[in-house]
Amino acid sequence: MPVLPDIEFFGTNHCPAKTAGRPRAAEAEARTQDLVETAARLFLEKGYSKVSLEMIAKQARVAVRTIYVKFGGKAGLFTAVINAGCAPFFATMHDMETSVRPLHDILLDFAMRFGQLVASPQVLAVHRMVIAESMSNPELALAFFEAGPKQTREALTRFFSRPDIRNQLRGDIAPEALTVHLLNCIMGDQLKRYLFVVTATAPVPDVRQQVEVGVELFLGGVLARPD
């Protein structure tokens, strides 16, 4: 599912002092990161449609042309923001391709990380923004899906396609369907509840209890039945 990053993930403005001549690779990378940080902050503060490339360029102290060259435009920059914030989450999913731990433990670890990500205030803010603006800005919805939810689904489908994992599950349910069922068991209806609770005094959800129940329900329906 996924997601826009927590602004705090990026830290504060840390663009290095300018030096004469062509910037070194490290300085260029830092300036690009600063640009992505600035865009993330503005998107969350003002909304996608109310933020212009000129506004981002001015606050990041770059030329608008730089944004087009590096990201292809506003949607590309938004994608970079999503990718930057999701990188730590997707990095942990590599373990699912090779881990030989019990199936229950692998799924519970994933569910905890996924549940905490989806329930975070920043990700919920992005969900609300995408839902509100997707009709007038279809490129926003596409960028969000491609950078977040699509990658999560593809990683889970690869996991459920592993022969050793497949042998533990019902053969009449395709890996793609297993992915959908797992995500629905973990966060389906609960995500809607989070999205509609916008008060600062809302109770913090008990993610662990929720995902533990979700994983148990999922496995109860998909584990291979003994002959």
Joined tokens for residue 14: 């840390």
100-121 pLDDT, tens digit each = 999 999 999 999 998 888 888 8
Sorting pLDDT into bands at 50, 70 and 90, what band is 166?
very high
Characterize 53-78 residue by residue with b for buried, 16 or more Cβ atoms within 10 angstroms of its Cβ, and e for exposed. Answer: beebbebbebeeeebeebbeebbebb
**DSSP 3-state assignment of 86?**
helix
Q: Which residue has the higher pLDDT, 19 or 49?
A: 49
Provide the pLDDT for residue 194: 65
pLDDT at 142 over 60: yes
Q: State the chain's mean pLDDT as an integer.
A: 83
Sorting pLDDT into bands at 50, 70 and 90, what band is 17?
very low
Where exactly are the structural domains of the chain? 7-76, 86-222
Joined tokens for residue 54: 């000129």
Lowest-confidence region among 12-16, 71-75, 203-207:
12-16
Q: In one letter, which amino acid is 166?
A: R
pLDDT at 164 over 90: yes
Sorting pLDDT into bands at 50, 70 and 90, what band is 210?
confident
Sorting pLDDT into bands at 50, 70 and 90, what band is 188?
confident
Sorting pLDDT into bands at 50, 70 and 90, what band is 199?
low
Provide the pLDDT for residue 15: 42
Q: Which residue has the higher pLDDT, 17 or 34?
A: 34
pLDDT at 25 over 60: yes
Provide the pLDDT for residue 168: 96
**DSSP 3-state assignment of 136?**
coil
User: Whose CA is closest to 16, among 25, 27, 32?
Assistant: 27
- CATH class, domain 86-222, is mainly alpha
7-76 has CATH 3.20.20.120 classification: no
Q: In the block, which residue shows the tokens 């993610």?
A: 207
Report in angstroms the alpha-carbon separations of 203 from 88, 117, 155, 189, 212. Answer: 26, 16, 31, 17, 19
- Separation CA 39–CA 76 (nearest Å): 11
pLDDT at 40 over 50: yes
pLDDT at 183 over 70: yes
Span 63-71, average pLDDT: 94
